[in-house]
Amino acid sequence: MSILKIASAVVAGNLCMALEIYETLSQKIISDGDTSHWKMVCFLIDLNATIRTYAFTVKGVDAECVSEVLQRKILSCLDVSDSRRMGREIIHGYHSFLYSKLISSKLTNPVLKEAVRYLEENYHKDVKLDELSRLCNVNKNYLSKLWNKEVGMSLRKYMQTLRCEAAKVFLKTTDYSIEYISDICGFKSQAHFSVVFKKIVGQTPREYRKEALTKQR
């Protein structure tokens, strides 16, 4: 039942609720001592399959590509700490995937499609609503109302999400300093980068890189 609640929350876009339920449930599992790691692995396999099935049943979204990647990562978990972090990654992974699918499927308005295309190509820049409205040749108040209604999050948060996704790639695949990554991804400062990244991803940039490097070994 708890796994279904997590899946339901993820598919509904309620990341906080999904993580809250997961933390409570995983804490109960790891209290079992010597067998807790294997119980966590079995739990994660079930969680991965359940969210994938729920996403297809409720939203009609085929998340096979995400599921296969996560499955391999689950089986590579070495201990309880590793497997518990993996659970958070599963939830965040599906949440990001489903949200991107939701946005792309919802956007039928050509103005918004043009706006999203421009933002994805210029996420590292300080794009203002005035600039975006001029590009789309519409009034900025109209664009703001249309964006909030159709996309479901503020322009500011959408830009922050794009920047964090780009930062994740740099953190995993380069040895660039965190300060440099924050700069090339368009954050105001390293401190601002850390705060926003932790809020959206659930880990600090340093924690994310350390975990990613550990899994690559």
Q: How is the chain classified by DSSP, letter by letter?
A: -HHHHHHHHHHHT-HHHHHHHHHHHHHHHHTTGGGHHHHHHHHHHHHHHHHHHHIIIII----HHHHHHHHHHHHT--SHHHHHHHHHHHHHHHHHHHHHHHHHHH---HHHHHHHHHHHHSTTS---HHHHHHHHTS-HHHHHHHHHHHHSS-HHHHHHHHHHHHHHHHHHH----HHHHHHHTT-S-HHHHHHHHHHHHSS-HHHHHHHHHHHH-
Output the pLDDT for position 165.
Answer: 82
pLDDT at 52: 92
Q: Cα(87)–Cα(83) distance, rounded to whole angstroms?
A: 6
- The sign one gets for the Cα dihedral 73, 51, 203, 118 is positive
- Report pLDDT for 134: 93
Amino acid at 212: A
Residue pLDDT, tens place only, 56-67: 898 888 888 778
Banded model confidence at residue 88, pLDDT cuts 50, 70, 90: confident
Q: How confident is the model over 152-159, as a mean pLDDT?
A: 84
CA dist 12 and 21 (Å) reads 14
Q: Are 111 and 136 spatial neighbours (Cβ–Cβ below 8 Å)?
A: yes
For 22-80, what is each residue's pLDDT tens digit? 988 988 888 876 678 899 999 999 999 999 999 889 888 888 877 888 898 899 888 88
Vertex 41, ends 38 and 43: CA angle to 5°?
110
Residue whose structure tokens are 């978990």? 77
- The 10 Å CB-count burial string (b at 16+, else e) for 32-61 is eeeebbebbbebbeebbebbbebbeeeeeb
Tens of pLDDT along 113-136? 888 878 877 888 889 999 999 999
Give the pLDDT mean for 152-178: 84
Look at residue 46 in the predicted model and tell me its pLDDT.
95
pTM equals: 0.55
Report how far residue 214's alpha carbon sits from residue 193's, in angstroms, rounded to the nearest whole number: 22
To 5 degrees, how large is the angle CA 91–CA 190–CA 144?
Answer: 65
So what's the pLDDT on residue 35? 76
